[in-house]
Structure 1
Amino acid sequence: MKRHPALMPLSREHHQLLVLAQVLKHDVPAYKNMPATPNEQRAYALERYTDLIEAHFAWEEKVLLPLAERYGDKLQRLVTQVLAEHQALREAFEKLPITPEADLPQELDLLGRALSANVRFEERVLLQKMQELLPETAWISMEQPGRWN
């Protein structure tokens, strides 16, 4: 899928989120040099949430999704879905610190699958539809000095 240059940094972050999702899934072989035990995976997930995901979601919600909303009703349903997924993911990350160790593998697996589904929906549906519908001039508003550096 060819991305508009304004979306390429976002897609690179999405790749990082997909790696995290794979690390959290239960039925995926362990990645070399990545956390392998549930407690290590929890710590890694919480670190990535703080260091990457919170800012990623905030940027999408303050820049990307309002841009999508400005260009018609065709994108509104997609924006609503992304916002709901972001909220569910925030709640899942926030309950990780208090998840009992016995339940942790299942919670990590569910979180990894939900994160993967969100990223794939954004990449395959939302961004693709935005590229089809938005005029070239719309992408200028996405330029954020320092955001992707």
Structure 2
Amino acid sequence: MEQKKPIKRHKAMQPISREHHQGLLLSWKIRTGFSKGISMERMKTYMDWFYATHLVPHFEVEEKYIFPILGNDHELVKKAIAQHRRLERLFNTSTELKKIISLIEEELENHIRFEERILFNEIQKVATEEQMNTISELHPETKFVDNTKDLFWE
């Protein structure tokens, strides 16, 4: 099997990539919740908190500062924005929870992999150092603070 080289992420983009790691952990927490038979309501409560606290601001930073580097008419950017809208709709749905939570788990992970493996690499190819400095200034590293009220995945 071919071994993939690790992606070299520009320092300015590393905080966004670390946020992606937390999104991947959310997908893992959901899978773990399913395997443990955790109620959909418990998982949805945590997911709603994660969405409002972390994903909404994350999407805003990407759409306002990062995606415009390629241009909002670029096919990869259009795809990412469409995925953001789809995830927003899913997170804001409160019926058929098992189906919705399963879709969120799958689509969030696929979206993050797309941004990390494809979109961000393209952005890094064309971004100027000035644009990267702007991202660093407007979106500095912050420590992830989890909601520990209900650690259903443990």
- Structure 1 length as normaliser, TM-score? 0.80
Provide structure 2 residue ranges, at least 5 long, that are not aligned to the other structure: 1-6, 143-154
Residues in 2 aligned to 1:136 and 1:147: alpha-carbon distance in whole angstroms:
16
Aligned residues: 136
* Counterpart residue type for residue 57 of structure 1: F
Aligned to 2:65, the other structure's residue is in SS state helix
Q: Does 1:50 align with 2:52?
A: yes
Matches within 5 A, 1:9-48: 9-25=15-31, 29=35, 36-48=38-50
Q: Which residue of 2 aligns with 1:86?
A: 84
Q: Which residue of 1 aligns with 2:107?
A: 114
The verdict on how the C-alpha distance between 1:47 and 1:27 changes in structure 2, with shifts beyond 3 A counting, is closer
The verdict on how the C-alpha distance between 1:105 and 1:26 changes in structure 2, with shifts beyond 3 A counting, is farther
Q: Which residue of 1 aligns with 2:71?
A: 69
Residues in 1 aligned to 2:88 and 2:138: alpha-carbon distance in whole angstroms:
26
CA contact (8 A) 1:26 1:105 kept: no
Aligned residue among 126, 135, 149 for 2:119: 126
Structure with greater contact order relative to length (CA < 8 Å, sep ≥ 6): 2
* Counterpart residue type for residue 89 of structure 1: L
Q: Which residue of 2 aligns with 1:148?
A: 141
Higher helix share: 1
Sequence identity percentage: 29
Shift of 1:21: 1.6
- Structure 2 length as normaliser, TM-score? 0.78
Provide structure 1 residue ranges, at least 5 long, that are not aligned to the other structure: none
Residues in 2 aligned to 1:93 and 1:143: alpha-carbon distance in whole angstroms:
28
CA contact (8 A) 2:70 2:126 kept: no
* Counterpart residue type for residue 109 of structure 2: S
The verdict on how the C-alpha distance between 1:14 and 1:146 changes in structure 2, with shifts beyond 3 A counting, is closer
The verdict on how the C-alpha distance between 1:136 and 1:49 changes in structure 2, with shifts beyond 3 A counting, is same
- Tell me how large the CA RMSD over aligned residues is: 2.4
